């Protein structure tokens, strides 16, 4: 047999990669990358302050603002930072020319960094490079002004760059123990960024058994205005696959893996020495798939790198639209707005949908499945409502449906005008009270591995009486704990005399005739379809709201999970109740 | 004239009450005359929470011990544990008066008194104090520097203090059964008397006693206690974790833990699942994945060990020459030795000593170590009492015993 080496796949030579450090913070990151050793990639330092620039270990340095600042820094003025960068534009352009991929390291908040970064980014894009920006956000104690400067710059970068990886300095505390020195904290921050850069470079430059390259990287990061989720871990020794994954998920950027549950596509790159086994890869992927949603597009890559020796590294890259990162605090603000009275057109539709759904979570014993079901139901309601919009005559019909639904849940039957604001307020309050720390965690993480609750769909079939007559049927339907059933009944109410159009509505209508198993699957299937198809932002926002609500309920539940140790002196260490199984605590984080 | 003396050790543990009757012979050897154990009730995390139940358990254990040893038990050495007990190191510095050059025993007492002046609340009392090290003008002595010349004496002490009321309550519980309490001993210190050899203490050793409700540890460096303490986590927590996550009943979770659990975290032990068939108690058939079970156990054990590691003084582990010794019922957990090795990076021994006569096989179990240690402790105390006649060596003996 003739052995022949596998064709090395076309990769980007390291000479096509350029790493740029801009400003003081950028220079620090760059030094860390350079000192940790990076074979081949070119390193360029840009700074207005000559002293810092000369202290940099970068092979290539460009002084910004020779005439404008004359070797001094920008003094925290982004405008000046922008101008000095523009002054050196041709030099920068020459340096970037012909590079396929450019990493820009920058600390936002100051002058050179905040002002210059968007300019450098634009120049690089104009030179047809793939630009990945690694930016750090200032500490809170640095003041509101710097924060705003950073935010402005970040917004520009989000549009200009191909990928944006943001490290919040405030999270640096997670990297080191509080007692450790400040220099160590900064070092740890720089090191993490350096590791990230190296991991991305390794990913695009090394030939792979299962290759991933720029195209996959772009797929994983392709969403406009998104934040990059990034985690990378290296481990060796026994059980290295699990350890490496744990390290990767521990990245503060992933919020301990919680943010991965929202992601749509994920790039996984595994790199190991010659002894990388299939078993390890399989084990690792098995563990990882538990962290991401089933629908997520997982781009898998593996490579053998002899220089890794007995180590195994895993890199996770994904992105999340910015609104998903921020929407949770926003959601509560939106809800506090009381619904005064129905208005025409779309505005009404949304609020009607909201108020129909709003009271639902209150009497809900079936918690863990709640948001799965309610989400499509919302979408369905939305669809129904929109369908109705053209015919003005159907509007008044929809209005009485709201108080009817309300009365089903809360006993006192009140006139429309009084009820409406009430609907809004109980919903908004618990949300506002929800601890902000709990918000980023995803709801699925809180569901115990084996939820004792049953699926709501069969319940729907079992407990719902034939809803032939919409109004009398609504009360018992609401009394059932299943949200899907209640929501479906709601829809029937909202569309009297109309053919049920979509998803859950159809499920409700078929409920009495079909066998429980059949209809539950159908309801789920159609529900899934409806979620995919509803791209209305209001709906996704509403889903988030219900999720946030869901979170809080679960937290209350968790407090009681002490088993035998309920009621004893709690053993508290570092704010953790040690009587709760570490297995669960770790998952929550 | 010394003569054979009978001592009784009593341990009121979270999972069992154990009373051990031992005879210390003239030549210093110990013979176990009898033992009485009873399943414990009303004890949580090493502390008594239901006195009525505990009294019944102790009474039961006593009856069994008296029957098997044919001795009427009048007084016991009681081991105590619990989260409230804390071990600290404290230094007392005493400067000799002018023109006084030689160190008298009285000056050492003064230094000790100063060392005892650690900041305690009104409720806290010192349970143990043992000298670690003496320094005379900066020069270290491991033996009391009585008779030496010097200007300043520094004595390092290891103190164990706890809540006085809780200790009193434990004593009261025993007294109500018309038994006297000779002394109370912090459980890991008692266990160390039996489980550790002198040369191990000299070279440095860490004893971890993982019981039902608590995990106690004591660290010996250079023959003296360097750290000790108690963490209110133990084998019951493991059972509880299994119960909560797999929703198995407590009894089943306990059996599963003992029969199937493996703490090492090696993936080879994670293969497959365990089927728990329908049994006479009427529980339904259940399946548990080994991977899940082992992960639950491992997480808990890892946490306990890491907590201990965190509480040890900085740099102490590098000075441990004789590794880690495990005792207590939960130390029988499979794979624990590997896990301990992984956390501390030290060699691991399960403590099984054979220098006590009696029915050997009965006392090999690591769960009797604290009780056996109590007898040993009593023996040392006895020797100490005899020694007090000589004025030079009236100091606490731990580990410094010849």
Interface of B with A in 4-23 (CB under 8 A): none
Half-sphere exposure of B391 (CA within 13 A, CB side): 6
- pLDDT for residue A543: 56
The mean pLDDT value of chain A amounts to 64
How many Å apart are CA A459 and CA B259, to the nearest integer?
A: 39
Question: Averaged over A267-290, what is the pLDDT?
Answer: 82
CA distance A576 to B234: 16
CA distance A73 to A110: 10
- Looking at residue A429, its pLDDT comes to 44
Q: Which of B45, B243, B303 lies at the smallest CB-CB distance from A582?
A: B303
The reply to whether B303 touches chain A by the CB within 8 Å rule is yes
**pLDDT for A39:** 62
Closest residue in B to A576 (Cα) is: B303
**Are B241 and A583 in contact (CB < 8 Å)?**
yes
Q: What is the pLDDT of residue B208?
A: 92
Lowest mean pLDDT among A525-529, B181-185, B382-386, B387-391: A525-529
Q: How far apart are CA A399 and CA A349, in angstroms?
A: 10
pLDDT of residue B333: 87
Looking at the DSSP bridge assignments, the partners of residue B209 are B216, B327
- Give per-residue pLDDT as tens, A194-206: 777 777 777 776 6
How close, in Å, is residue A367 to chain B by CA atoms? 18
- Reply yes or no on whether the pLDDT at A351 is more than 60: no
| Per-residue model confidence (pLDDT) at position A257 | 65
Q: Are the beta carbons of B240 and A563 separated by less than 8 Å?
A: yes
Is A508 a residue whose pLDDT tops 70?
no
Residue A589 DSSP code: -
CB A571 to CB B83 under 8 A? yes
Of A565, A573, A582, the CB nearest to B300: A582
Tell which wins on pLDDT, B30 or B237: B237
Residues on chain B touching A449 (C-beta within 8 angstroms): 245, 292
What average pLDDT does range A37-58 have in this prediction? 79
CB A271 within 8 Å of CB A308: yes
Neighbours of B143 (CB within 10 A): 13
Task: Give tens-digit pLDDT for B240-265.
Answer: 999 888 888 888 888 889 888 888 87
**pLDDT higher than 70, residue A42:** yes
Of the candidates A314, A301, A57, A21, the one whose C-alpha atom is nearest the C-alpha of residue A196 is: A314
Give the range with max mean pLDDT: A426-435, A566-575, B214-223. Answer: B214-223
B contact residues 227-286, partner A, Cβ 8 Å cutoff: 231-233, 236-237, 239-241, 243-247, 250, 265-267
pLDDT band at A477 (very low <50, low <70, confident <90, very high): very low
Chain A partners of B49 at a C-beta cutoff of 8 Å?
Answer: 568
Average pLDDT over residues A216-237: 71
pLDDT of residue A12: 56
More confident residue, B136 or A302: B136
Nearest CA in chain B to A242: B267
Q: Nearest CA of chain A to the CA of B299: how many Å?
A: 6
> Which chain A residue's Cα is nearest to B310?
A573
Q: Which residues of B touch A569 (CB under 8 A)?
A: 45, 83, 232
Instruction: Give the distance from residue B184's alpha carbon to the nearest chain A alpha carbon, in angstroms.
Output: 23
- B44 close contact with A: CB closer than 8 A: yes
Angle subtended at Cα B394 by Cα B389 and Cα B398, rounded to the nearest 5 degrees: 130
Q: What is the structure's pLDDT at B362?
A: 61
In this predicted structure, what is the pLDDT of residue A56? Answer: 81
Q: Closest CB to A583: pick one of B239, B295, B307.
A: B295
Domains and CATH numbers, chain A: 10-205 (3.40.50.1440), 208-322 (3.40.50.1440), 336-559 (no CATH)
User: First and final CA of chain A: distance in angstroms?
Assistant: 53
pLDDT (mean) for A221-227: 61
Q: For A298-346, give the DSSP string.
A: EEEEEEE-GGGTTEEEEEEEEEEEHHHHHHHHHHHHHHTS---S--SHH
Extract the tokens encoding A476: 């018992």
Q: What is the pLDDT of residues B263-274, one digit of tens each?
A: 887 777 777 778
Do residues A113 and A146 lie in contact, with contact meaning Cβ atoms separated by under 8 Å?
Answer: no
B312 and B231 in contact (C-beta within 8 Å)? no
Question: Which residue is associated with the tokens 């053998």?
Answer: A304
Backbone phi and psi for residue B340, each to the nearest 5 degrees, phi listed first:
-60, -40
Measured CA angle at B391 (ends B389, B396), to 5 deg: 85
Tell me the average pLDDT across A51-57: 81
Pairing relation of β-strands B348-350 and B324-327? parallel
Give ∠ CA A292-A294-A297 in degrees, rounded to 5. Answer: 75
pLDDT at A531 over 80: no
A114-144: pLDDT as tens digits: 888 888 898 888 888 888 888 888 887 888 8
Stretch among A34-43, A150-159, A282-291 having the lowest mean pLDDT: A34-43
Q: Do B236 and A564 touch (CB under 8 A)?
A: yes
Helices A370-388, A516-533: inter-axial angle, 10-degree rounding: 70
User: What residues of A are in contact with residue B267 (Cβ under 8 Å)?
Assistant: 239, 242, 283
Q: What percentage of chain A carries pLDDT values higher than 90? A: 0
Q: How far is B309 from chain A (nearest CA, A)?
A: 14
* Residue of A101, A96, A123 lying closest to A215 (CA atoms): A101
Which three-class secondary structure string do you get for B128-151? Answer: EEEEEEEEECCEEECCCCCCCECC
Cα atoms in the Cβ-side hemisphere of radius 13 Å centred on B91? 9
Reported pTM: 0.47
Hey, is the C-beta of B302 within 8 angstroms of any chain A C-beta? Answer: yes
Interface residue ranges in chain A relative to chain B, Cβ cutoff 8 Å: 238-239, 242, 283, 448-450, 452, 561-565, 568-569, 571, 573, 578-579, 581-584, 586
Q: Does the distance separating the beta carbons of A568 and B246 come in below 8 Å? A: no
Is A283 close to B267, i.e. CB distance below 8 A?
A: yes
Average pLDDT over residues A452-469: 42
Q: Which residue has the higher pLDDT, B176 or A463?
A: B176
Lowest mean pLDDT among A333-342, A560-569, B90-99, B129-138: A333-342
Taking each continuous run of H as one helix and of E as one strand, the counts in chain A are 22, 12
Give B237 or A242, the one with higher predicted confidence: B237
pLDDT, one tens digit per residue, over B171-188 is: 999 999 889 999 999 999
Alpha carbon distances (Å) from B226 to A106, B85, B87? 48, 15, 9
B45 in contact with chain A, both atoms CB, cutoff 8 A: yes
Indicate if the pLDDT at residue B158 is higher than 80.
yes
Structural domains in chain B, CATH included, are 87-161 (3.30.1490)
What is the pLDDT confidence band of residue A496, given thresholds at 50, 70 and 90?
Answer: very low
Distance from CA of A312 to the nearest CA of B (A): 17
- Find chain B residues with C-beta within 8 A of A571's C-beta: 45, 83, 231-233
pLDDT band at B353 (very low <50, low <70, confident <90, very high): low
Residue B295 touches chain A, beta carbons under 8 Å: yes
A469 vs B21, residue with greater confidence: B21
Question: pLDDT-derived band of residue A449, with 50, 70 and 90 as boundaries?
Answer: very low
> Nearest CA to B78 among B189, B182, B211?
B182
B148 reaches A (C-beta below 8 A):
no
Dump strand ranges (E) for A478-547: none
Query: How close does chain A come to B199, measured CA to CA in Å?
Result: 33
Whether the complex's predicted ipTM surpasses the cut of 0.90 = no
């Amino acid at each position: 047999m003739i052995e022949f080496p596998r064709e090395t796949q076309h990769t980007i030579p390291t000479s096509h990669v350029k790493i740029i450090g801009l400003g003081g913070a950028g220079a620090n990151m760059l030094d860390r990358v350079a000192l940790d050793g990076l074979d081949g990639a070119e390193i360029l330092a840009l700074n207005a302050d000559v002293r810092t620039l000369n202290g940099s270990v970068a092979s290539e340095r460009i002084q910004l603002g020779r005439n404008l600042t004359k070797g001094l820094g920008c003094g925290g003025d982004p405008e000046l930072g922008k101008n000095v960068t523009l002054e050196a534009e041709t030099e920068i352009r020459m340096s970037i020319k012909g590079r396929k991929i450019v990493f820009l390291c920058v600390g936002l908040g100051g002058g050179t960094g905040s002002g210059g970064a968007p300019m450098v980014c634009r120049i690089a894009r104009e030179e047809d490079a793939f630009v990945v920006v690694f930016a750090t956000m200032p500490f809170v104690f640095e003041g509101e002004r710097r924060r705003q400067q950073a935010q402005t710059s970040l917004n520009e970068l989000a549009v200009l760059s191909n990928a944006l990886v943001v490290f919040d300095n405030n999270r640096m505390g997670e990297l080191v123990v509080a007692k450790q020195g400040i220099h160590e904290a900064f070092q740890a921050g720089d090191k993490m960024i350096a590791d990230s850069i190296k991991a991305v470079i390794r990913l695009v430059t090394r030939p792979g058994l299962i290759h991933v390259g720029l195209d996959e990287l772009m797929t994983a990061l392709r969403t406009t205005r998104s934040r990059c989720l990034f985690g990378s871990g290296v481990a060796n020794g026994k059980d290295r696959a699990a350890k490496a994954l744990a390290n990767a998920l521990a990245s503060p950027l992933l919020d301990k893996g919680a943010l991965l549950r929202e992601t749509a596509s994920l790039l996984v790159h595994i790199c190991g020495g010659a002894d990388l086994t299939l078993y390890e890869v399989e084990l690792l992927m098995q563990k990882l798939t538990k962290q991401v949603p089933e629908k997520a597009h997982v781009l898998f890559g593996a490579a053998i790198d002899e220089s890794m020796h007995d180590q195994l590294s895993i890199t996770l890259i994904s992105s999340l639209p910015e609104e998903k990162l921020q929407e949770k605090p926003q959601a509560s603000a939106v809800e506090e707005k009381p619904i005064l009275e129905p208005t025409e057109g779309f505005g009404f539709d949304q609020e009607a949908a909201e108020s129909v759904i709003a009271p639902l979570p209150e009497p809900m014993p079936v918690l863990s499945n709640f948001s799965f079901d309610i989400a499509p139901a919302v979408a369905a309601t939305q669809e129904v409502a929109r369908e109705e919009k053209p015919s003005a005559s159907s509007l008044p019909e929809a209005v009485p449906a709201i108080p009817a639904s309300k009365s089903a849940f809360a006993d006192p039957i009140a006139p429309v005008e009084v009820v409406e604001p009430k609907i809004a307020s109980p919903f908004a309050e618990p949300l506002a009270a929800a601890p902000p720390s709990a918000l980023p965690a995803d709801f699925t993480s809180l569901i115990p591995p084996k939820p004792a609750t049953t699926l709501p769909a069969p319940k729907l079939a079992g407990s719902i009486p034939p809803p032939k007559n919409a109004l009398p049927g609504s009360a018992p339907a609401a009394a059932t704990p299943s949200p899907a059933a209640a929501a479906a009944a709601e829809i029937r109410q909202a569309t009297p005399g109309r053919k049920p159009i979509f998803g859950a509505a159809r499920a409700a209508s078929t409920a009495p005739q079909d066998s429980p198993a059949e209809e539950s699957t159908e309801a789920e299937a159609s529900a899934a379809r409806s979620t995919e198809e509803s791209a209305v932002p209001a709906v996704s926002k509403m889903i988030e709201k219900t999720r946030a609500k869901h979170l809080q309920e679960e937290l209350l539940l968790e407090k009681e999970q002490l088993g035998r140790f309920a009621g004893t002196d709690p053993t508290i260490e570092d704010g953790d109740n040690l009587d709760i199984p570490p297995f669960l605590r770790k998952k929550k984080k | 004239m010394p003569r054979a003396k009978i001592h009784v050790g009593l341990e009121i543990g979270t999972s069992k009450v154990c009373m051990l009757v031992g005879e210390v012979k003239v030549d210093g050897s110990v013979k176990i005359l009898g033992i009485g154990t009873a399943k414990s009730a009303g004890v949580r995390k090493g502390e008594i929470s239901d006195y009525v139940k505990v009294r019944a358990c102790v009474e039961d254990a006593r009856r069994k011990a008296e029957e098997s040893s044919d001795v009427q038990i009048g007084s016991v050495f009681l081991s105590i544990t619990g989260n409230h007990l804390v071990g600290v190191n404290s230094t007392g510095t005493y400067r000799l008066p002018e023109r006084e050059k030689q160190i008298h025993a009285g000056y050492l007492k003064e230094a000790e008194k100063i060392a005892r002046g650690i900041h305690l609340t009104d409720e806290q009392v010192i349970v143990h104090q043992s000298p670690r090290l003496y320094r005379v003008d900066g020069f270290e002595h491991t033996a009391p520097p009585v008779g030496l010349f010097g200007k300043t004496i520094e004595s390092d002490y290891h103190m164990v203090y706890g809540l006085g009321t809780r200790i009193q309550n434990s004593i009261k519980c025993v007294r109500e059964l018309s038994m006297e309490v000779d002394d109370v001993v912090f459980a890991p210190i008692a266990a160390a008397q039996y489980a550790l050899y002198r040369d191990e203490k000299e070279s440095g050793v860490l004893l971890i006693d993982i019981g039902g409700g608590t995990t106690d540890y004591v660290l010996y460096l250079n023959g003296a206690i360097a750290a000790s303490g108690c963490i209110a986590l133990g084998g019951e927590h493991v059972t509880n974790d299994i119960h909560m996550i797999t929703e198995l009943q407590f009894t089943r979770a306990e059996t599963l833990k003992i029969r199937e659990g493996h703490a090492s975290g090696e993936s080879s032990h994670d293969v497959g699942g365990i089927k728990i068939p329908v049994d006479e108690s009427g529980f339904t058939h259940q399946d548990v994945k080994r991977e899940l079970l082992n992960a639950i156990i491992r997480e808990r054990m890892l946490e306990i060990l890491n907590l201990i590691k965190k509480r040890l003084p900085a740099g102490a582990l590098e000075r441990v020459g004789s590794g880690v010794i495990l005792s207590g019922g939960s130390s029988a957990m499979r794979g624990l030795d590997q896990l301990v090795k992984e956390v501390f990076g030290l060699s691991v021994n399960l403590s099984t000593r054979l220098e006590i006569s009696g029915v050997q096989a009965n006392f090999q179990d690591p769960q009797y170590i604290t009780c056996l240690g109590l007898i040993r402790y009593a023996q040392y105390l006895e020797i100490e009492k005899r020694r007090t006649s000589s004025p030079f060596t009236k100091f606490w003996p731990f580990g410094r015993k010849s």
